[in-house]
Chain A
Amino acid sequence: MPRKVCIVGGATTPFDYGATGFESIEGGAAECIRETREDIPDFSLRDLDLMIYSHFSVHFGHQLCSEWVIHDHLGLAGLPHFRVENGGNTGGSALYAAALAVMSGHHDAIGIVGWETMDSVSQSQGSEFIALASDIRYELLVGGIYPIYYAAMANKWMKDNKVKEEDVASIGAKNRNNAMDNPKAQWYRNEHKYITVDDVMNSRLISYPIKKYDCCLMTRGVAFLLVCSEEYAKKVNPDNYVTIDGIGLSSCTIRAGDRLNYPRWTEQYGPNYPGMTEFGACRNSAEQAYKMAGIKNPKKEIDFGEIHDAFSTSEAQIYKALGLADENNIAQFLRDESTHMHGQIPMNPGGGLMGYGHPVGATGIMSTIEAYYQLADMIPKKHLSKKTEVPDAKCGIVNSHAGTGTSISNFILRRH
């Protein structure tokens, strides 16, 4: 048996866009670590034996190897460090790397710092930079922004699964409204209002069936997470540590149109899967994580999730890929509000990418931190109220997602 992987703490800066006065990646990282030390005073920077940096794009960073700026600033010169980049799944991939490092027995206390500074260029330039992660030779000039690719996938998925625009719009409203209980969330800090399904339906067309309030936010933000061995967890946070019981990472094609008959998928799941509608890499990585964590019935055994809602449509597609519903009942699963706070399996109580924000390299780390807070009874301390606390949560899923579903990771976290 490999060693257990634990999480003992973590924090983010407030997520925002534009001038706040605290824009500095190294300063942000330092403040995240200071907040973590307030939660677990026995943790010392001296304990760290590896730093993993989670950052998507130099285009936003205007600095090659900006992790070197942060690492040096934290006083950690001499300590091993490297950066992980994997599109929107950068955070999840950094967590995967940290988990492997602990499981191997080679490292005991690993800090992950994730960040993105998407407001260093204009919003429209930012969208084009993100689209450089599509195959630019074939897709950048036709469509040119990710919401269009996602809309084309979602349109067919919704038809195939009898899901209506209103059904997914409720996800857009849910995550923003959850964010209203989270003072670090970008939606709380900026737009700051509760919205309804009608508000989502009436928001401007981005690409049918996706409207503005079906889309995530562009964000500046930094996050820090402390991943460690159980031995170290027992030393610094014996009462409130969380274990990562399952990890999974999988991949899919860069161009969504190449998924119709992909031989390796056909070998694994039979013909016509994932097609242009399903997230095969999500299903595959979830199956890996479930198997490792001994989960047979995810809907019953998982209490909540922090998942990658780049679009409300993709959050719905993810539910299906996670095995929470199938083509016969996904529409009803959505209409039952199963993933709202009052539902069977709340998703994105922290606000998700649509509410908390999506500073790409920090996003998966943020999701993990929120899941950690839920399992460590820290929501009343970190959010404004208990409204977004999942009562008696014992098991959560963290999902991180890239490209058009091109790289996806899933993690099963359990309360110790």
Chain B
Amino acid sequence: MQKTIAKKRNKFAQEPNFTIKKSYRPDDVKETGLSFVGHEISDDGKVMNQFLHYDQLYTIRHGWNSPFFKGLLDGKIMGTRCPKCKDTWVPARTHCWRLDCNLQPTEWVEMPLTAKVHTWTVAGWSGRSSLKRLPIVLVYAIIGDSKVAIANELHKIKPWDVEFGMPLKIVFKPKDERIGAVTDFHFEPADNWKPSPTNKEKERIKKLVEPVYEWVKTMK
């Protein structure tokens, strides 16, 4: 009976075992539950604002998608390929997108560490955690023979020098700094690439990002 249950449970995947449990809960994530922590009342005494606080640590269970994130730790970009139609993807798809392939499970493949810019932007504003790194060049790039583009930052370039179609290399953070997230790698221009001469658009972008550099300098 036990064997039958185990067999049924393993129908979709081998059940993983995490013998070593890790706690990454930051000291300031208290998870004390929902708490009404205080209130304020308008000068005329008519209106109240109340403050509700909760902290939560989420577990993102990567399961079937794990090879991609685990690959990052090893300095590899893992994609998937459909054994039937040969379409390849990074970001990975665990089942083929072609309706005729009928959700064919895909195979993991190691991708080359080269890419090509599909489109780009220069961010002068972002989420709180990224503000100090502004301006940020974000590109959507195609890695190897992937059918899709993946977003990531492009470093070691003046923001106004990015070009459509420019060749890139993928560079990983030092091994001990990797966390198994897409920020473990970024793009850089390919070694042989040189920016084109300045033009009107480059001047315009330069003008737009100058205040961003100034503003970031004033940030603590």
Contact = CB atoms under 8 A, between A and B. Distances in A.
Contacts of A258: 89, 91, 148-149
- Residue among A131, A142, A255, A263 having the largest count of chain B Cβ atoms under 10 Å: A142
Interface in B106-121: 118-121
State the majority secondary structure of interface residues on A: mixed
B121 A257 contact: no
A370 B147 CA distance: 41
Contacts of B125: 145, 147, 204-207
B128 A151 contact: no
A142 B211 contact: no
Contacts of B157: none
Contacts, number: 138
B126 A148 contact: yes
A128 B126 CA distance: 9
Interface residues of A, number: 48
Given A62-B52, A204-B124, A141 B208 contact: no
A263 B86 CA distance: 13
A3 B10 CA distance: 50
Interface stretch (B23-31, B41-49, B167-175): B41-49
A324 interface: no
Nearest to A212: B125
B151 A204 contact: no
Contacts of B208: 205, 208, 211
A260 to B, nearest CB: 6
Contact of A141 (B65, B183, B205, B212): B183
Q: Report, as a range, how many residues of chain B touch the other chain.
A: 35 or more
Given A148-B138, A276-B119, A207 B129 contact: no
A153 B159 CA distance: 17
B151 A149 contact: yes
Contacts of B204: 165
A135 B91 contact: yes
B123 A207 contact: yes
From B49, B69, B118, B159, name the one whose CB has the most chain A CB atoms within 10 angstroms: B118
Interface of B: 42, 46-47, 49, 52, 60, 62, 65, 69, 87, 89, 91, 97-99, 118-130, 135, 138-140, 142, 147-153, 159, 164, 181-183, 204-205, 208-209, 211-212
| Pairs A-B, 8 closest by C-beta atoms | A205-B124, A257-B149, A144-B127, A151-B121, A156-B119, A208-B122, A205-B208, A207-B123
